[in-house]
Amino acid sequence: MRILQVLPHFSKGGAEKVVIELSNSLINAGHEVTVLLAYPVDPTLNQKQLVDKVQVRFLVSQSKNKYSHYLVLPYWIVRNWRTLREYDVIHCHLTYGLVFGSLISILRKIDRKKKIKLIATCHVVGVGVAAFPRILNERLSYFFDSFVLMAQDAKWRNFIRNRNRENILLIANGISSNVSGHKSRPSPKNGSWKIGTISRLQAERKPWLFLETFANIQNLKSGHVEFILGGDGPERESLVLQSEKLGLTTSLSMPGLVQTPNDFLNSLDLYITLNVEAITGIAGLEAVFAGIPVVGIQLSKDYENGPEDWIWSSQDPQGVAQKIVEWLKDPTQLATVAEEQYKIARETFSVERMRDNYLSLYATKKQ
């Protein structure tokens, strides 16, 4: 099967990581994969993780401004239609990919000689998503044979129900495991617990919730605890000021963009992730696969943590802190949590399972 993956670039991010994992796994399964990017960025950020057999193409050599690569899309698609029409599947990601796919959908109706399967994966899910990207994703979802959500929230469920949408479905993200099994951590490294997370420091991600959780842990836990907030973004400066007000100056480090997640994760005793209902992010999955116990800050305000949730979560930073302190008091329980989470991740959130779900979707006949 010839498959084209489309997204704007390979910067650091969960969506970019998913495309890389999926593309590599499709190659391993014997398929031909090309990744089409709007423009190049530093290949050390993510692109270098692609296996050699994945072909990479760019629409433009560099991005002149925020919208320039959108303006060339219609011309580029028409000019390259003979090549594009030979793909069996065009799989689109993020807003840029969805706009690309919408134009392909229009051109596909004109040229009836080739029935390309059009798939989109929506990564705009959860609290904190601005209204415009969500509305744009909802409108563009009509152009695709299948519109995949990596998670669901109340707004998407209402949209699906109220519009009677049958082309929208859920496929959970999956990643590869770089460890052979769970790494037990019965006691803190270097005599003190180290708790951390990786996040884009953007307002919609609510990174201040991590600082509030850290501060509550510091107030509840006797003994020294180190905190680390990895990642970069426009909120960094305000977060530094907030950390000082919360009394985290000596216990918190903010190293910026994390180039080597494995090294970062292996330094931790516990990881705090962001959950949308029962679904966690890519960095959270990476932590689980590294054998680190994970607890979640819940972004869906109406969601109640249940017995079937594989990652415990709460909307309240103090409640999250209390759960963490409870686990830290019992290292055996901490190790058990990590073991159970690892087993569930291997069964449910592996890259092989994600790949097979997408392959089934790719193979479904277009109506």
Q: Are 211 and 245 members of one domain? A: yes
Q: Are 249 and 101 members of one domain? A: no
181 occurs within a structural domain: no
Q: Are 144 and 220 members of one domain? A: no
Per-residue pLDDT at 292 exceeds 50: yes
182 occurs within a structural domain: no
Looking at residues 281-310, what average pLDDT do you find? 91
User: What is the reported pLDDT for 181?
Assistant: 46
Per-residue pLDDT at 182 exceeds 50: no
Please enumerate in sequence order all residues whose Cβ is within 8 A of that of 136, keeping only pairs 6 or more positions apart, or say none.
Answer: 95, 98
Average pLDDT, the chain: 90
Q: Are 127 and 200 members of one domain? A: no
Looking at residues 162-180, what average pLDDT do you find? 83
User: What is the reported pLDDT for 205?
Assistant: 86
183 occurs within a structural domain: no
331-348 vs 317-328: helix crossing angle, rounded to 10 = 110
CATH number at residue 207: 3.40.50.2000
Per-residue pLDDT at 34 exceeds 70: yes
Q: Phi and psi for 187 in degrees, rounded to 5? A: -145, 155
Bridge partner residues of 193 (DSSP): 225
User: What is the reported pLDDT for 65?
Assistant: 81
What is the pTM assigned to this prediction? 0.88
Burial track 285-308 (b if 16+ CB lie within 10 A, e otherwise) = bbbbbbbbbbbbbbbbeebebeee
Q: Are 271 and 137 members of one domain? A: no
Q: Are 113 and 18 members of one domain? A: yes
Number of residues assigned to the chain: 367
Q: Are 315 and 287 members of one domain? A: yes
User: What is the reported pLDDT for 72?
Assistant: 92
Tokens, residue 72: 């060339």
Q: Are 120 and 219 members of one domain? A: no
Looking at residues 253-265, what average pLDDT do you find? 92
Count of domains observed in the chain: 2
User: What is the reported pLDDT for 31?
Assistant: 98
Please enumerate in sequence order all residues whose Cβ is within 8 A of that of 330, keeping only pairs 6 or more positions apart, or say none.
Answer: none
**What confidence category does residue 179 fall into, taking pLDDT thresholds of 50, 70 and 90?**
low
| Nearest-angstrom CA–CA distance, 306 and 311 | 10
pLDDT tens for residues 101-138? 999 999 999 887 668 999 999 987 765 567 788 889 99
Q: Residue 13 belongs to what domain range?
A: 2-176+350-363
The residue type found at 232 is D
Q: Are 193 and 172 members of one domain? A: no
Tell how strand 270-276 and strand 225-230 pair up: unpaired
Q: Are 172 and 31 members of one domain? A: yes
Q: Are 258 and 356 members of one domain? A: no
Q: 118: phi > 0 → left, psi -120 to 50 → alpha, else beta; which?
A: beta
135 occurs within a structural domain: yes
Per-residue pLDDT at 156 exceeds 70: yes
Q: Are 138 and 213 members of one domain? A: no
